[in-house]
Amino acid sequence: MEPYGETDRQIFNLLHTKAKQFCVGFIGIGFAVLSAAWFSAEDVILYAVSDLFQPTLIFVWNAVVALCLTVISVMIIRPKWRPESYRQALLTVAYGTVNCLMQINISLAIFIIGPGNAVALLFTMPVMSVFLSVLILGSRLRMSDIFFAVCSCGGVAMISLSLEEEVHQSDLQRVLPSFTGVIFATVSSVSFASTLIIGSMLNSYETAHPLINLLSYSVQYSIVACVLCASFNHWALPTTVESLLLLTGTGLTTIAGIGSGYLAVGWKDPTTVSIILSLEVPMTYVGQLTFFNFAFSWLALSGSVLILISAVGSLLYEDQETHAEQEAIPGEHGEQEIEENLPMLKQGN
């Protein structure tokens, strides 16, 4: 008698498939949460250095640190990158461009209309991601995606409103008209959603590599940042070790956040990733309460809870819908039937 019969192999195949599905989903969620954490760390660090240096100088440090880190990683890992088509090469360049636009525009929006309004407009990104996925990737428009994306944006707005009072108290002057800040924040939101869509498209190529995409971003950002800094003659060097570490930290956290976001859309769809990335807002709020003694706000707490509900609800609904679709399609080994009769199969062995 064989040590492993046909029934044992079927049970093994079923368990292997279920474990693989769980791991794939968990990895994508993990990278998305990690990306939100890195971006929230960047927000806190930028807030800490905003009174110490000119914005364009912060851009330069952010970009150059990211470029140096990426170049060193490329030299060590030596990724073999050969574009399969001109389309892949163009997508790689576009990925760097939209990330560059996102970083510059959201920073400019914060300086013009304050972090509260800027963040509220930036994280309309989940809604934009839903429609961009439908238009560009041909994804199916699900009412659940729209619902959870709108809820997520509502939570962001509640946190932003709680912070805006402090912004108005500390900064009443507007160098540029407010509508320019709205434009910058909206462009940043569209760019943020576009990074997820383009990243998802790049992940379909076998020769695509995260380091090459990060290199595309860091090179473009370094060029633009240096041009802006030279135009306003904002060159300066940090005078303390603390300021040096903070400036360096902006680049490290930015490149880590972008890289984690790219890996996330390789395992999860862009819409789900965009909703999970909204966790950046409550994470940043907690960081501000911890390090800068911001006043506690029940409105902000309610917004954080709404964002968490949106992220978790989106994931649970997606898993339930995916499971229902898999049950509707008969598997090669009759997985549904095996799963239902799994206790009897074990007893029979």
| Segment 252-280, tens digit of pLDDT | 999 999 999 998 988 888 878 888 888 88
d(C-alpha 134, C-alpha 44), whole Å: 34
Q: Which of 226-230, 237-241, 321-325, 327-331 has the weakest average pLDDT?
A: 327-331
Tokens 């574009």, residue? 83
208: left (phi over 0), alpha (psi -120 to 50) or beta: beta
What average pLDDT does the structure give for the chain?
A: 77
The H or E element containing residue 259 is helix 241-264
Q: What is the DSSP letter of 20?
A: H
pLDDT tens column, 227-260: 989 988 888 888 889 999 999 999 999 999 999 9
What's the one-letter identity of residue 53?
F
225, pLDDT greater than 80 = yes
Does the pTM of the predicted model rise above 0.85?
no
d(C-alpha 87, C-alpha 235), whole Å: 38
Residue 109 CA to its chain's centroid (Å): 19
Other Cβ atoms less than 10 A from the Cβ of 230: the count is: 12
318, pLDDT greater than 90 = no
For the chain, strand residue ranges (E) read none
d(C-alpha 58, C-alpha 248), whole Å: 9
User: CB-hemisphere CA count at 13 Å for 167?
Assistant: 18
Helices and strands in the chain, H and E counts: 13, 0
Count, residues in the chain: 349
The span from the first CA to the last CA of the chain, in angstroms, equals: 12
d(C-alpha 274, C-alpha 263), whole Å: 13
At 276 the pLDDT is 85
Q: Between residues 88 and 1, which one has the greater pLDDT?
A: 88
Whole-angstrom CA distances from 341 to 62, 119, 218, 291 are 57, 51, 54, 55
Helix, strand, coil abundance in the chain, percent, nearest 5: 80, 0, 20
What's the one-letter identity of residue 300?
A
Q: What is the arithmetic mean of pLDDT over 93-102?
A: 93
Cβ-based neighbours of 66, under 8 Å, separated by 6 or more: 214, 217, 218, 221, 222, 251, 252, 254, 255
Q: CA torsion sign, 295 to 300 to 305 to 311?
A: negative
Task: Decide if 269 contacts 304 (C-beta within 8 A).
Answer: no
- Joined together, the tokens standing for residue 12 give 């093994």
Q: Which of 155-159, 164-168, 182-186 has the weakest average pLDDT?
A: 164-168
Going by pLDDT thresholds of 50, 70 and 90, the confidence category of residue 319 is low
At 1 the pLDDT is 44
Going by pLDDT thresholds of 50, 70 and 90, the confidence category of residue 172 is very low
- Joined together, the tokens standing for residue 55 give 């914005």
Q: Which of 6-15, 32-41, 139-148 has the weakest average pLDDT?
A: 6-15
Percent share of the chain, pLDDT over 90: 22
- Joined together, the tokens standing for residue 192 give 């943020």
330, pLDDT greater than 50 = no
Q: What is the DSSP letter of 295?
A: P
